[in-house]
Amino acid sequence: MSDHIYKKIELTGSSELSTDDAIKNAIARASKSVRNMRWFEVVETRGHIENNAVMHWQVTIKVGFTLDE
């Protein structure tokens, strides 16, 4: 059995639709340059209000990934 060693990075995704979409946007963009992503945790959720309505979401996540051998 191999040891599980991870490195963490922090990302902030944004979306006009939802917090889930903001998370998916962050992971999708990171996947273009980060390999072996395994998990994420939500660190912070923010929103932008305009004309008394939520107009934009920002979600900061920490993403864990395994290092190449």
Structural tokens at position 36? 């072996």
Exposed, middle or buried, 59 (CB in 10 Å: 0-12/13-18/19+)? Answer: buried
Residue range 8-55, pLDDT digits in tens: 999 999 999 999 999 999 999 999 999 999 999 999 999 999 999 999
Of 9, 10, 11, residue with least CA distance to 26:
11
- pLDDT computed for residue 1 by the predictor: 44
- pLDDT computed for residue 2 by the predictor: 66
Amino acid at 13: G
Cα–Cα distance for residue pair 28/61, rounded to 1 Å: 13
Whether the model pTM is above 0.85: yes
Cα–Cα distance for residue pair 62/8, rounded to 1 Å: 6
Whether the predicted pLDDT of 66 surpasses 90: yes
